[in-house]
Amino acid sequence: MRLLIADPDQARRAQLSLLLEFVDYGEVAAAVDYDGWHDHPVLEEGVDLVVVGHSGDEAQTARQVEALAQRVGSGIPILLVQERPSGQGMPQSLSQAITGVIEQPFRQSQLLHALQLADIHRRSDRDAVRGRNVELFRSLVGNSRAIRKVRKLIEQVADSEANVLILGESGTGKEVVARNLHYYSSRRDKPFVPVNCGAIPPDLLESELFGHEKGAFTGAISSRQGRFEMAQGGTLFLDEIGDMPLAMQVKLLRVIQERVFERVGSNKSITADVRIIAATHRDLEQEIAEGRFREDLYYRLNVFPIDMPPLRERVEDIPLLINELISRLEHEQRGSVRLTPAAIAALCQYSWPGNVRELSNLMERLVIMYPYGVVDVRDLPEKFRRDMVVPEEAGASSAEIPAPALLSGDVVRLPSEGLDLKEHLSNLEYSLIKQALEDADGVVAHAAKRLHMRRTTLVEKMRKYGLQRTDQASGI
């Protein structure tokens, strides 16, 4: 976070720099007077926030703010430092250009409030101006039964007006589903507006959702649209709805029921023409039982539920996901990498508590560490190969090589004395079938799924090797 302070008051510049450093908000890249910022190199390098000190002259201050706004662009928030909100005589152009006000004498709570407004402004404008590349989110990669079911549900509900509740662990791709629902709906030409209900402070959430009028609260020196207005005609995605405070749940329920809302500080009703999609990683029924979520809101949102499976339950999709993630990195010209079969086998054995997001982060890390290289199992971070046993000596006999290592042609070596290939493959097949049955607690259908084969085929192979079925009682 890089900050520019433009203030004709030298003492105030120094005091504000110390305060910003104290609250650990970022680096004050430059603190200059009105004349010092025009040719300052910090503007070429880029800034994330501009703070302008009021000179005492409204017109002069307005000219400086307008010039800075043109120079840094509309996506960069500008905060005005003044002794108190003037409330009169402020040019309209100045009100529109400023994100918030920092009052003197400085108070930490008011300063943090203004900085939070700046953060929200920057994120909102970045999403609105740059947008999100729909192509990256349109496809749900995988051929597993679970992901095919998700795609089918999206196809069924996308073009309706029903509210959708997406459930699943963090990192499973709930926003991917929401963007697919929007993309395949009749609202696709209108905005898709995401809101992370857990990332916005409770005292700012109402303003963020419904907007506010000038003077509605300290620092609200101009009117501002909320996310409901931004999403008019389109889709509003309420991420982490389970983290929304109870007081806000009541207000959201009213909007969903009546399809109208008011900005903070206004009594003028605005029609809400939006399709609502919500998502959470929490068990909302448990949250209701513990009094943290309203039951009536739950039933309003849960018209059409979609469950996103964790990555550990669709292991067969991991190779496809790896290829897709690498293709995206290549498309973004961020580099490339290739994984050996042994490395992919190791990743398929990992439990993935962070789900697809964790896999995506790993691919980015490998691209940085091994640009345009080949990653073997030994090159993976230690936690991903903890359960993999790779032979240290290339000349080890086939009987000494663990089954997982045999999945990789880059690891297995032909012993110098040779081997009976047919017998070796039979031993390998027996070993893998036995492992699959043990992992599946003897349930043949589950073991067949792990081995990517038909259940009847597995039963025949079990007869061939004399392996006992233990799932007769279950009727499988």
Q: What CA–CA distance (Å, rounded) separates 204 from 222?
A: 15
How do residues 214-233 score in pLDDT, each as one tens digit?
A: 877 777 777 888 899 999 99
pLDDT score for 362 = 95
Q: What per-residue confidence (pLDDT) applies to 423?
A: 67
Most confidently predicted of 260-269, 355-364, 404-413: 355-364
Neighbours of 334 (CB within 10 A): 12
β-strand partners of 3 = 28, 49
pLDDT at 388: 54
To which H or E segment does residue 136 belong?
helix 134-138
Check if the beta carbon of residue 237 is closer than 8 Å to that of residue 284. no
Q: Which of 301, 257, 281 is nearest to 165 (CA)?
A: 301
Pairing outcome for strands 78-82 and 235-239? unpaired
What's the rounded Cα separation, in Å, for the pair 476 and 469? 10
The secondary element (H helix, E strand) that includes residue 47 is none
Residue with tokens 């995401």: 194
pLDDT confidence of residue 94: 57
Q: What is the 3-state secondary structure (H, E, C) of 369-418?
A: HCCCCEECHHHCCHHHCCCCCCCCCCCCCHHHCCCHHHHCCCCCCCCCCC
The pLDDT of residue 258: 92
Q: Region 53-61: what's the mean pLDDT?
A: 85
Instruction: Report the candidate in 199, 160, 210 with the shortest Cα–Cα distance to residue 181.
Output: 160
Question: 453 vs 109, 429, 459, 472, CA distance in Å?
Answer: 62, 13, 10, 19
Classify domain 312-384 at the CATH topology level.
Helicase, Ruva Protein; domain 3 (1.10.8)
* pLDDT tens for each residue of 303-318: 999 999 999 999 888 9
Segment 151-161, tens digit of pLDDT: 999 999 998 99
- Among the four given CATH numbers 3.40.50.11540, 2.60.40.1080, 3.40.50.300, 3.20.20.140, the one describing domain 134-309: 3.40.50.300
- Strand partners for 306: 166
pLDDT on residue 417: 54
- CATH 3.40.50.300 domain locations along the chain: 134-309
Beta bridge partners of 27: 2
- Pinpoint the residues of the chain covered by CATH 1.10.8.60: 312-384
Convert the pLDDT of each residue in 325-359 to its tens digit: 988 888 888 888 888 888 888 899 899 999 999 99
Give the SS3 label for residue 442.
coil
Find the helix or strand (DSSP H, E) in which 194 lies: strand 192-196
Query: Which of 92-101, 314-323, 448-457 is least confident?
Result: 92-101
pLDDT score of 391: 40
- Rounded CA separation 437/75 (Å): 57
Token pair for 32? 């200059």
In tens, the pLDDT along 291-306 reads 999 999 999 999 999 9
Between 227-241, 251-265, 379-393, the lowest mean confidence (pLDDT) is in 379-393
How high is the pLDDT of residue 212? 85
How far is the C-alpha of 164 from the C-alpha of 21, rounded, in Å? 43
Task: Identify the helix (H) or strand (E) that includes residue 181.
Answer: helix 174-183
What is the predicted pLDDT for the residue at 409? 38
Alpha carbon of residue 101 to chain centroid: 30
Phi, psi values for residue 80, rounded to 5°: -105, 130
Q: What is the mean pLDDT of residues 450-468?
A: 83
Is the confidence at residue 205, as pLDDT, over 60? yes
Q: Say which CATH topology domain 420-474 has.
A: Arc Repressor Mutant, subunit A (1.10.10)
The residue among 88 and 3 whose pLDDT is bigger is 3
Here the tokens at position 321 are 């996901």
- Residue 103 reports pLDDT greater than 70: yes
Cis peptide before 310 (omega within 30 of 0): no
Mean pLDDT of 453-459: 86
- Say which residue the tokens 């749940």 belong to: 249
Nearest in space to 96 (alpha carbons), one of 81, 78, 83: 78
Give the pairing of strands 304-307 and 260-262. unpaired
CB 52 within 8 A of CB 7: yes
Numbered ranges of CATH 3.40.50.2300 in the chain: 2-130
When pLDDT is cut at 50, 70 and 90, the band that residue 174 belongs to is very high
- Sign of dihedral through CA atoms 406, 411, 415, 421? positive
Residue owning tokens 């991420």: 239
Please state the rounded mean pLDDT for residues 66-87: 77
Residue 143 has pLDDT above 60, yes or no: yes
Q: What CATH code would you report for 2-130? A: 3.40.50.2300
How confident is the model over 180-202, as a mean pLDDT?
A: 91
Q: SS3 for 469?
A: coil
In the chain, CATH 1.10.10 sits at: 420-474
pLDDT greater than 50 at residue 400 = no
Residue 432 contacts residue 439 (beta carbons within 8 Å): no
Q: Which amino acid is at 162?
A: A
pLDDT of residue 393: 37
Alpha carbon distance, N-terminus to C-terminus of the chain: 59
pLDDT at 34 over 80: yes
Q: What is the DSSP annotation of 48-113?
A: SEEEEE--S-HHHHHHHHHHHHHHH-TTS-EEEEESS---SS--HHHHHH--EEEESS--HHHHHH
